[in-house]
Amino acid sequence: RSVATEAATIHGPLNVREMFCACAACESRDFSLSACGMRAEFGNYKIEYAKRAVPRDQHNTRMRSLDEFAHTLRAGQVQAIAVAPDQRHIEGNIWFVLLLSDAYVASEDILHSTYQIEAGWWVVKAKYYYRVQRSPRAYLLHAHERVLVVNTLIRLPAPVEFDSPRQTPRLAAMLTEPGMPGHATSVVGPLRLMSDKKYNAIESSMQDVR
């Protein structure tokens, strides 16, 4: 294993071996090839090479990136939210929201039933899309307005675009059934469609943009 957890992604050549011993040299972190007093038991260190990390721009901090992203958010855009692991069984790894306002800084604390927003955070007013059909993926807009923290949005390079909306008899019948996620009393049209190809592309980009 690597003698330093972060070194594997920062430095090139590393002295590594399978086990870490507690001799005086190793405890003092002298990992030169001849320093270890238990080489006969644990073997010598060997040199391995790890890919160096791309140097970070010290002026491009995460907070600055958040500010820049917040300034691109406009009312009418569709954005994506990464779903918590314990909720992914509902609709998958991504939820979509329609922004009802530009992003703004909260002037006071906002208390919600499941979370609290602190004054000074970037927030935006939005409504969630509910998936009402699996294939093709079909969404209707939930009627309830929420205030979301901008930092929960996936920082995609451009807003999400749905495919051309269309209604189907099967979906229309489903929406009239009480208790369904897309019940007509809690959602509003028009129907929005998204191909699996587009959804998978957004999903695969999550690791690159978060």
Question: DSSP string spanning 107-141?
Answer: SS-EE-SS-EE-TT-EEEEEEEEEEEETTTEEEEE
DSSP E strand boundaries for the chain: 13-16, 46-49, 78-82, 94-99, 104-105, 110-111, 116-117, 122-133, 137-142, 146-149, 187-194
- Over residues 186-203, mean pLDDT: 80
Question: Is the pLDDT reported for residue 183 higher than 60?
Answer: no
The reported pTM is: 0.61
32-47 per-position pLDDT tens digit? 667 777 777 777 777 7
- The stretch 177-205 carries a mean pLDDT of 69
Specify the pLDDT at position 110.
84
- Residue 116's identity, in one-letter code, is Q
pLDDT digits (tens, 9 = 90+) for 102-126: 999 999 888 876 678 888 999 999 9
105 beta partners = 122
